[in-house]
Amino acid sequence: MHLSEPFEPSESYNLQHTLEIPSHVCSLAFGHAGHLFTGSEDGTLRVYDLSSFKVLKAVRGLGSEVSSIVCIKRPNTELRDVWLACGKRVMKFQMDSPKMIQTAEDALVVIEVGEESSEDDILNEIAINANKTHLAFCMDSGVVGVIEISTKQVTRMKSNHDSVCGSVKFIPDRPREIVSGGYDTTLRHFDFLLGNILSSHKVSSYTTIGGMALAPPFVMSMAISSTGLVVAGTADGRVWIGCGGYKKPASKAAKKKRKWEGLNSDEATEIKVAEGPIVALAFDDRDTLTLSTLLGVIMRCTLIFDEKEGSVALDRTWQKETESIEKVNALVTDEKRVIIGGLTADGGGVFEIWRREGN
């Protein structure tokens, strides 16, 4: 299935602000609505005020790129605490520290998750569960694991991806289950307390009418909606949407299914949306998806779920190209903004803030 061309946009976003920084933007996260956390290749975290676009706080000299950021609210402070994925370590900082600029020595918690003997044990993404008790992580080596925050215990899953694992997410309403996506073109569903695979799906190669295969369908990005829809972005410009775990928003009181079947290929849809890799995906509500290609095509789509057929369609509502970003690394979105980060043509870092117009 392909997205239809042309289309009539039903949303409007304008570029509000572009900010360049010395090193590639590798990761983005919202603090509260007025704060943006950015992680860079040079091992720097910056917290920006989104009204003045000034840096409020920073952490420098971390030694490796800040590949992923998780923000956590703490009472009596507007500045969120932050967990960072940095090299082989997961680190925690309190950003309401009196220091304007912190260093690695100021970390409250440092957890070594990579093995010294493995050059590929470099962190890509971290995620936190709804109860704020566990962090999931994934690595270049294909390893997927979980950290129990209270004890700092690190548990690796019993099976690895065969190549780089770049994405990991907790499944809503499934306290002990996570999903990961890798460059081995596979999505895996784990019970992280047991370390076992519960289900998996291998994304098939996409071929053109002439029978030529495009780029391998590496899983480059992933998002899960609050209703249990799984979306994976591939290197050959597709989104794979798993519908088997879908849960009606109004059915919270209903009995939960014994098994989550979000990776069931019989209840999945593949849609060709672009010619380049889909490197970033994010939900800002239960059915609105924002995505970006590597070269900066930004797209917003409403997911329309057909419960009878067990399938989903994409209704594209807005599309633009980034103006200053040569290659995209990260994306965050809320009800008012889409923020894209990456690198410029001359190798510096940059992020663009696109603001929604109207209601």
The pLDDT value recorded for residue 159 is 95
Q: What is the mean pLDDT of residues 10-14?
A: 94
Residue, of 307 and 291, whose pLDDT is higher:
291
| pLDDT for position 254 | 55
pLDDT of 253 over the 60 cut: no
| Mean pLDDT calculated for residue range 268-283 | 94
| Calpha distance 70→224 (Å, rounded) | 16
**Calpha distance 84→262 (Å, rounded):** 28
Phi first, then psi: give them for residue 169, nearest 5 degrees. -145, 150
Whether the pLDDT of residue 100 is over 80: the answer is yes
Model confidence over 151-184: pLDDT tens digits?
999 999 999 999 999 999 999 999 999 999 999 9
DSSP, collapsed to helix, strand or coil, labels residue 44 as coil
Percent of the chain whose predicted confidence (pLDDT) is above 90: 81
pLDDT the model gives residue 28: 98
Does pTM surpass 0.85? yes
- Report the share of the chain in percent with pLDDT over 70: 95
Q: Is the CB of residue 331 less than 8 Å from the CB of residue 340?
A: yes
- Walk me through the domains of the chain, giving residue ranges and CATH numbers: 13-31+75-81+115-249+259-356 (2.130.10.10)
pLDDT of 249: 73
How large is the C-alpha radius of gyration of the chain?
20
Cα angle at 297 between 296 and 302, to 5 degrees?
135
Strands 177-182 and 165-170: antiparallel
CA distance 218 to 294: 13
Torsional sign, CA 63, 184, 340, 335: negative
Of residues 94 and 227, the one with the higher pLDDT is: 94
Q: What is the arithmetic mean of pLDDT over 56-60?
A: 98
CB 125 within 8 A of CB 135: no
pLDDT confidence of residue 332: 97
- pLDDT of 207 reads 62
Residue 258, pLDDT above cutoff 90:
no
Cα within 13 Å of Cα(142), Cβ side: 13
CA–CA separation, 164 and 125 (whole Å): 11
Backbone conformation region of residue 49, classed left if phi is above 0, alpha if psi is from -120 to 50, else beta:
beta
pLDDT value at 84 more than 90: yes
**Mean pLDDT computed over every residue of the chain:** 92
Rounded average pLDDT over 299-320: 87
- pLDDT single digits (tens) 109-163: 999 998 877 888 999 999 999 999 999 999 999 999 999 999 999 999 999 999 9
Give the mean model confidence (pLDDT) for residues 284-298. Answer: 93
Q: What does the alpha-carbon distance between residue 80 and residue 84 come to, in Å, rounded to a whole number?
A: 12
The answer to whether the CB of 120 falls within 8 A of the CB of 159 is no
The pLDDT of residue 6 is 80
Distance CA 334, CA 322 (A): 18
pLDDT tens digits for 204-229? Answer: 887 665 556 567 899 999 999 998 99
Q: Residue 323's closest CA among 340, 335, 309, 337?
A: 340
pLDDT at residue number 252 = 53
The 3-state DSSP class for residue 106 equals helix
Query: What is the pLDDT confidence band of residue 250, given thresholds at 50, 70 and 90?
Result: low
What's the average model confidence in pLDDT over 31-59?
Answer: 96
